[in-house]
Amino acid sequence: MVSNKFLFAIILLYVYIGVQSLFYFFGGVVLTILVAMAFLNGPRLLDWANSPPHLQFNKYVLTGYRPISSVQDCIRSLFYMHNELGNIYTHGALPIVYSTLLCYPFTRTVALLVYILLSSYAIYSAITARSSVRRLRSFAWQALFRFSFFLLRWVGVGGGSPTSLQHFLTMDALAVLGGIINISRIPERFRPGLFDYWCNSHQIMHVLVVGSILYLHWGVLDDLLWINSHHCPSD
């Protein structure tokens, strides 16, 4: 019979090979991109004053703007340096409502419809907003509605996994923080021009939003496991 130690060693070996393969694969991809960026010359980049009007939303990013581009130009811009490159490479709360009101079918249905309507209104308001501040405000009612379900869970009225609430609160905290950083133009407002290509507020927002989505994912997984094992009390 094969010993447990031998099996464990084989498993470790396969894990090691798999990890090394991933490193080689992603390393090759990154190297290819860097080489392509080194040899592919892009168009002459513009400063803020001469950039297209729809790109003039951050006066503290002074240089590195792409000119008006076709579809082919946009694809080509993946491989040369400009101030949107970091944004490109860094770029669902219904389960919360459902699991919180799992044992209240009628209320759950109404709440889901209300949340969908609020979300639709928020998207419309964000698209038509004329400033970053108004765009952030567009999601206020949707956020307040969602927070009401967090409150229900906290006081023990609503359902849901005991561990998911922390994930959802972290999700919203990261999203709000990203929005605030984006509209406040930090850090580029303190050193205009220094963060034109990397680490400006828009890129920081992207990273925080990705983190927010991860916490949403983890919270939803916890709730799905809870739903699978929970039984509502009979009337």
| Residue 123 and residue 160 in one domain | yes
pLDDT reported for residue 13: 44
pLDDT reported for residue 157: 82
Q: Are 66 and 109 in contact (CB under 8 A)?
A: no
Q: Is 82 annotated as a binding residue?
A: no
pLDDT reported for residue 20: 46
pLDDT reported for residue 43: 79
| Residue 76 and residue 111 in one domain | no
- Per-residue pLDDT tens digits of the chain, which is 235 residues long: 444 544 544 454 455 445 444 444 444 455 455 555 545 567 788 888 888 887 777 788 888 888 887 777 776 776 677 777 665 544 456 677 878 888 888 888 888 888 878 877 777 777 677 776 777 777 788 788 888 888 888 888 878 888 899 999 998 899 889 888 988 889 999 999 899 888 888 889 888 988 888 888 888 888 888 888 888 877 5
Q: Which domain holds residue 94?
A: 89-229
The residue from 23, 54, 82 where one domain ends is 82
Estimate the crossing angle of helix 105-128 against helix 140-154, to 10 degrees: 150
| Residue 114 and residue 170 in one domain | yes
pTM of the model: 0.58
Sign of CA dihedral 163, 166, 167, 168: positive
* Beta-carbon contacts of residue 102 (< 8 Å; ≥ 6 apart): 108, 159, 160, 227, 230, 232
The residue from 82, 113, 138 where one domain ends is 82
Is 234 domain-assigned?
Answer: no
| Residue 14 and residue 124 in one domain | no
| Residue 101 and residue 216 in one domain | yes
| Residue 18 and residue 126 in one domain | no
The residue from 59, 82, 105 where one domain ends is 82
| Residue 65 and residue 135 in one domain | no
| Residue 72 and residue 181 in one domain | no
CA distance 106 to 223: 20
Q: Is 217 annotated as a binding residue?
A: no
pLDDT reported for residue 92: 52
Is 202 domain-assigned?
Answer: yes
Is 235 domain-assigned?
Answer: no
Number of domains comprising the chain: 2
| Residue 112 and residue 197 in one domain | yes
pLDDT reported for residue 63: 86
Is 200 domain-assigned?
Answer: yes
Is 64 domain-assigned?
Answer: yes
| Residue 126 and residue 164 in one domain | yes
CA distance 98 to 92: 11
| Residue 93 and residue 112 in one domain | yes
